[in-house]
Amino acid sequence: MSTESNLTKPSAEEEASGVEQTRSGRCYRPSVDILENEDELTVLADVPGAAADRIDVKFEEGTLAIHARVEPRQPEDTSYAIQEYGVGDYYRTFRVSEAVDAGKITAEYNEGVLILHLPKTEATKPRKIAVKSP
């Protein structure tokens, strides 16, 4: 089970993954899916417009932190006819109470989606126990 702990409380507008007027240095909270199967926790985060080498993923003392740096795509003085979302960095943290093998965490970035694989330690994987009859 993973519970969420955010260092910066998002405002009501930011909840919808960043539908706000843009200002320089804006930071957004990406939408995520978190799945669990027998072997791992999988986190999928929508972080479009980032560069793979500018995404930091840290797992420390049970907290997973994602920070994706996004370069502005348009000059700051662009005059928009419609502007429904801003472009900026993405940041989010999660508390992961499941025992995870930190050394085996992998990450991929594809089509704007960051996918993190957090393998469970052997001890936490469900184990079938054979019942012997005498």
Partner 1 sequence: MVFRSFYPRQPLGQLRHEMDRLLSGFFAQPPGSWLAGGREQPAVNVWDTQDALKVELEAPGVKKDQVDISVVGGELSLRVERPEVEQEGVTYHRRERPVGTFTRVLRLPADVDAGKVQAELAGGVLTITLPKAESAKPRKIKVKAVS
31 in contact with partner 1 (CB under 8 A)? yes
99 in contact with partner 1 (CB under 8 A)? no
76 in contact with partner 1 (CB under 8 A)? no
62 in contact with partner 1 (CB under 8 A)? no
4 in contact with partner 1 (CB under 8 A)? yes
Residue 11's contacts (CB-CB under 8 Å, 6 or more residues apart) are none
Candidates 76, 80, 128, 131; binder of partner 1 (CB under 8 A) is 80
| Encoded amino acid at 21, one letter | Q
Candidates 6, 8, 33, 63; binder of partner 1 (CB under 8 A) is 33
Question: Which two structure tokens, joined as six digits, stand for 42?
Answer: 């999988």
| Encoded amino acid at 93, one letter | T
C-alpha angle 62-118-29 in degrees, rounded to nearest 5: 70
Tell which residue, 72, 69, 118, has the closest CA to residue 95: 118
57 in contact with partner 1 (CB under 8 A)? no
In this complex, which beta carbon is closest to partner 1, that of residue 112 or of residue 132? 112
1 in contact with partner 1 (CB under 8 A)? yes
How many angstroms from the chain centroid is the CA of residue 32? Answer: 6
Give the span between the Cα atoms of 42 and 116, in whole angstroms. Answer: 6
Residues that bind partner 1 (CB under 8 A): 1-2, 4, 16-17, 19, 31-38, 41, 44, 46-51, 73-74, 78-85, 110-113
